[in-house]
Structure 1
Amino acid sequence: MPFARNSYSEQRRSCTRLLNVYRTVDEQRMADDLDDLLDEVEAKFCRTAPKGDRMSAQSGDRRTKDGSVTSCRRPEKDDLDDLLEDILDDDDSSMPQAIRTGPKLSVAQSSKRKCCPVFLGGSAIGHGIGTSNSQRACNQLRCTSCDFRIVTFDDLEWDPSCDYLFFRNNMPDCDKLRGKLKYKRGARAYACQCSWHSAFSLMDLRDQQQLKWVCGKHET
């Protein structure tokens, strides 16, 4: 039994020595990797001085594995900008041409405004952005039901025989729509693909509940 205990102790010591060897090898490998990384950084931001140059033995100098001394300098802002541009250029070159070019957006884009409230009106009422103080007939109307732009005809009104199928089949062909229009001085005929209306004076669109029309915004 003492022999067995001694054998076990020797095996355990052998395993311990082997683990220590592995640890030493791993640490040496990590140190080599770190040196390689530092050499790569120095190649970008440091200059190498010849061996034996006493002027290179200043603060901040570092001796490489081949015995030469490198004098490191603090990276300048221009150097960092150049490095970033190189990285961005590499990324940009890998992108498809259609994505790189893309549509150029205009810096000064025109703003848009909506009428509030929205007015309809006869041919005597001017078009424009309608407000409580500036009561103008909206000429940018859009239907939320059929998603058509509303067309208008001045000094004309819709014939009473108009029906849904007529506008469904003929909108937005203005020439065919004129077949159901008749002359009325001061009137203005409105129509989309599902609704129609004849206005003779200024009126608030909110009073016409059957019309699902909204202001499609005016460019200013």
Structure 2
Amino acid sequence: MSTGSDGQLAIDLNASGKQAPKKKPEKSTFSAGDIVWAKVSGFKFWAARVVDMKNDKFFPDSLKVPPKEKCTMVRFFGTYDYHWICPSSIMSYEAGIKKRLQSKCRGISFQVAFKEVKEFCESGTLPAGFMKATPTYEELKAAAVEQEEEEPEEPESAPVPKKQKRSSKKQDQSNDDSTTPTVEQAAEPVVDKSEKAVRDRCTHAMRRLGLVGPTINLRETIY
């Protein structure tokens, strides 16, 4: 509802002619201890808790001065590191749940952090990581090396022998057929080609002279 040019009250209407519902403004400032969703450049929205800079004994002195005005100092669940968050990159925990931010990331670290948030909302007890200083890079590297050494080494598997190629049955049969004579080939008599040519010429000449019939067998005549 707003005031018109004539001093009378005017009602804001939407396109359908009905009174437009007023949206509840998003919380712009947060108090120490609030659970929020915060986003750092290059990462997804992450569950965090607004830091009480006066009473947090683990808060690093190097981060006491905010980089910009109206930034909020938070400490993330799961990783337990501190970070200044600008107003456009932070929202309340309830607003983030409505936007289903909890399903936007499938990483293991994110799932661990979200599990800690749910347990804190139910029990009111902060995770143990909030009760100590943020681990340094050297500490994280040493913990990773220690965990790698504790993991048992997998035994080396024996090499798998290569399978020998089997010759096809058709190829074997073709080889046998080319080397082994058939029954018909074995029964056929071996005839000298020169002798057969002489017989053919004699038969042809005798047929021209009418000495033999067209179907006579020269072999029977000679032998």
TM-score bracket, normalised by the shorter chain, equals under 0.3
Q: TM-score, normalised by structure 2?
A: 0.21
Q: Which has the higher strand share?
A: 1
Q: Which has the bigger relative contact order, CA under 8 A and spacing at least 6? A: 1
Q: TM-score, normalised by structure 1?
A: 0.21
Q: Which has the larger radius of gyration?
A: 2
